[in-house]
A and B are shown apart, each in its own frame.
Chain A
Amino acid sequence: MKLSVVDTERCVGCQSCMFACSRRQGEAGIARTCIGVRSAGGMERGFVVIVCRACNDPPCAKVCPTGTLKPRRGGGVRFDITKCTGCGHCRDACPIGCVFWDDEINKPMICIHCGYCAQFCPYGVLKLER
């Protein structure tokens, strides 16, 4: 299963998905969120929804020097935090900006494609699909 952004034009910018992602991880607020919503240069132009698109050949994994990020079956990566040195190569390698960063522990935050955020998208922007 992987998360898919169906249509950003349907996004109203409520950011409920961002809060959902943090909540899924047992936290309140947005520090832990692996999805980002911002305006496309003024809200009248609509929104940009930034989330891991589960690449088949993920650049973040290709540049990881410690084997922390490993390609996952069906796309995207698995994240083994015990191996991570916080070098940040993965963040630089993702052209979409989907590797979010936890400043407190200096480690990446990686979408696991659980689809919890999609359950809190009232307007059908996000969908979990095969």
Chain B
Amino acid sequence: MLQDDTLANVLYIDLSKKHFWIEKRQDLFDKFIGGVGVATQLLHEECPKGADPLGPENPIIFAVGPLTGLFPLASKTVAMFKSPHTGNLGESHCGGRSAIAIRMAGYGAIVIKGASNTPLYLAIHNNRIYFRDASSLWGIGSCITVGRIIRENEPAAGLRTIMRIGTAGEKLVSYACVTTETYRHFGRLGLGAVFGSKKLKAIVISGKRSLPISDTKLYQKVYDEIYQAATGSPVMKKYHGLGTAENILPLNEFGGLPTRNLEKAKFEGALDISGETFAEQYLGRRLACSHCPVGCIHIAALREPYGDELYFYKTSMFSYDFEPIYALGSMLGVSEPKGFLKLMEQIEVLGLDVMSTGVVLAWATEAQQKGIISKKETMGIKLSWGDHTAYMDTVSLIIKQPNEFFEALSCGVEHAASLYGGQDYALAFGGNEMPGYHTGPGAHIGVLIGARHSHLDNAGYSIDQKAKIKENLGSAEELAESLLAEERWRQILASLVICFFARGIYQPDVVLKALHLTGFDVTPEALLGIGEEIHKEKYRFKTREGFSLDKLRLPKRILETPSPLGKLDEKFIHRAIEYVKKSLSK
């Protein structure tokens, strides 16, 4: 890296002692680039073995990369922590203004340790760090209101990120999220609960600076190439057009859209909750993350009457994407767009991971229908597919946790099913609730073996879709190898914190050209080697914390419901996992 690059600065904040310091960690950035590569190392350094995810010993680590602030779409922040949801590796990525703000404030990474006795929020403005009392913000019902208050209190509009938790995080729901800029999230694996356990309500970060570059002319040339690709390519236009919600109809047509807790993989109401329907009837605005010209964020405007007075309306605006539509739409049999939006609004306001919430509600519905839980557990709520008001009542109780059943739901579907039964249809993989793909074995194996049990680890669904077109899936070993190759490469992208939507633009040659300008000169082979090493380092943490590929639970439901590639074969899945095991132990 270039000598005067502030990327090497790691800001350490101790919430117990209300103390902070900065260390130059060029060693880490030189070896592991930034983002997930550096954050994984900091997690190894800071998180003791067997740490309680909700204890002060669990660190929160944020990291950005060398291309952040220099090139478009290097706009994600990687968060790493020990997950209270799975009890293992926690990793979540978020856009908004977060990455640019951290880089412009003069840091490559931020490590938050300890815990506060009383609620506080952190204000990081360049090299000034403030511990602000958040007692008055604790318990405010809406995550959005909290954002508004901090917005009024703090400087640097347009140059800042405001990360905050809702009541879900305060109440330590294991799949609580952290929200930034109202519409973007560190969604998965419960970072919100880790914030809550530290009494950390929010973090605002801002800054403004110049970044060093090795060759100004070449920089402008490479920038222009990437910018043209980002604004001109049909793939990126798709993200701006209908957005990720565009996938609802094709995936449904394909027969891979999980419906009613995956009793089916085709939803008869798909058209009503499709990207096309939301765009035509509800789309109010499109937004972008900082330094991303694509603008994929889709905001629906929902106008509703209050009902107590004629002509008294409110208009709420909430973001939608493919995954929320799957989780609260098809997965719950909700085909009424307004019903979906109201449920989405509630989950946004409370600060929950929408994907996990949807899958938890889906399991609870089926569990009640099958009689393993009754209205007694649900305190009188009758759950039925498509009934969004019953789901909203349930979500409120997941936050309040008035009895053991709702306490169990607040810990995720894996935990709830371990207490109440119904594991066969408890759709979690590695402890994390499933994403919206029942496309074939690739999707499920990908999530099982993925280091964070996310569809974004290795995009197995994409392999299934290609296999369907070719009418040839290949062997289990070939499939496992493609997943591993993809996941290794994604470690590079996630270390550069490039949005995965831009993976088609940031091919290895472009990455090397861009990296060269920041003083990183590596060969293509060495780059792939770094990706492989980061992947192994993540698995080293997982293994240390008790993860084993042998212990993975396979919910029977995925074997029962036919996918577009036919019924899944359990032996095939196990062969693939076996291959991964061997490959990782090399």
In the assembly, what is the distance between CA of A26 and CA of B218, in Å? 11
Taking a contact as CB atoms closer than 8 A, the residue among A14, A22, A31 that contacts B290 in the complex is A14
B227 at the interface (CB under 8 A from A): yes
In the assembly, what is the distance between CA of A69 and CA of B159, in Å? 27
Contact of B157 with A31 in the complex, beta carbons under 8 Å: no
In the assembly, what is the distance between CA of A38 and CA of B211, in Å? 21
Taking a contact as CB atoms closer than 8 A, the residue among A19, A29, A41, A123 that contacts B151 in the complex is A41
The contact string, 1 if C-beta is below 8 Å from chain B, for chain A 4-33, is 000000001111100100110011111110
A95 at the interface (CB under 8 A from B): no
Which A residues lie within 8 Å of B297 (CB)? 12
A65 at the interface (CB under 8 A from B): no
Scoring A13, A31, A122, A123 by chain B CB atoms within 10 A of each residue's CB, the highest score goes to A13
Contact of A14 with B293 in the complex, beta carbons under 8 Å: yes
B219 at the interface (CB under 8 A from A): yes
Which B residues lie within 8 Å of A75 (CB)? none
In the assembly, what is the distance between CA of A56 and CA of B141, in Å? 49
In the assembly, what is the distance between CA of A14 and CA of B208, in Å? 16
A128 at the interface (CB under 8 A from B): no
Name the residue of chain A whose CB is nearest to the CB of B286.
Answer: A12
Which B residues lie within 8 Å of A22 (CB)? 210
Which A residues lie within 8 Å of B151 (CB)? 41-42
Q: Is the interface of A mostly helix, strand, loop or mixed?
A: loop
Contact of A28 with B158 in the complex, beta carbons under 8 Å: no
Taking a contact as CB atoms closer than 8 A, the residue among A27, A29, A37, A42 that contacts B158 in the complex is A37
Given that A23-B220, A28-B210 are contacting pairs, would A16 and B295 also be in contact in the complex, using a CB cutoff of 8 Å?
Answer: no
Contact of A13 with B157 in the complex, beta carbons under 8 Å: no
Contact of B210 with A43 in the complex, beta carbons under 8 Å: no
The contact string, 1 if C-beta is below 8 Å from chain B, for chain A 94-118, is 0000000000000000000000000
Given that A14-B292, A29-B69, A29-B210 are contacting pairs, would A120 and B158 also be in contact in the complex, using a CB cutoff of 8 Å?
Answer: no
Contact of A12 with B210 in the complex, beta carbons under 8 Å: no
In the assembly, what is the distance between CA of A86 and CA of B469, in Å? 66
Contact of A46 with B295 in the complex, beta carbons under 8 Å: no
In the assembly, what is the distance between CA of A26 and CA of B100, in Å? 19
Taking a contact as CB atoms closer than 8 A, the residue among B69, B159, B216, B287 that contacts A13 in the complex is B287
Contact of A28 with B70 in the complex, beta carbons under 8 Å: yes
Given that A38-B158, A44-B317 are contacting pairs, would A19 and B208 also be in contact in the complex, using a CB cutoff of 8 Å?
Answer: no
Taking a contact as CB atoms closer than 8 A, the residue among A14, A19, A31, A120 that contacts B209 in the complex is A31
Name the residue of chain A whose CB is nearest to the CB of B96.
Answer: A43
A85 at the interface (CB under 8 A from B): no
B531 at the interface (CB under 8 A from A): no
Within 8 A of A (CB), among B194-211: 208-211
Which B residues lie within 8 Å of A44 (CB)? 182, 284-285, 299, 317
Which A residues lie within 8 Å of B147 (CB)? 42
A36 at the interface (CB under 8 A from B): yes
In the assembly, what is the distance between CA of A90 and CA of B231, in Å? 37
CB distance from A107 to the nearest CB of B (A): 15
A66 at the interface (CB under 8 A from B): no
List residues of chain A with CB under 8 Å of any chain B CB: 12-16, 19, 22-23, 26-32, 36-39, 41-44, 46, 120, 122-123
29 contacts between A and B (CB under 8 A): A13-B288, A13-B290, A14-B288, A14-B289, A15-B158, A15-B288, A16-B291, A19-B291, A23-B219, A26-B216, A27-B213, A28-B69, A28-B211, A28-B219, A29-B70, A29-B104, A31-B208, A31-B210, A37-B158, A42-B147, A42-B148, A42-B182, A43-B181, A43-B182, A43-B183, A43-B285, A43-B287, A44-B317, A120-B227
> Top 5 nearest A-B pairs by Cβ distance?
A38-B158, A14-B288, A12-B295, A44-B317, A38-B157
List residues of chain B with CB under 8 Å of any chain A CB: 69-70, 72, 100, 104, 147-148, 151, 157-159, 181-183, 208-213, 216, 219-220, 223, 227, 231, 284-295, 297, 299, 317
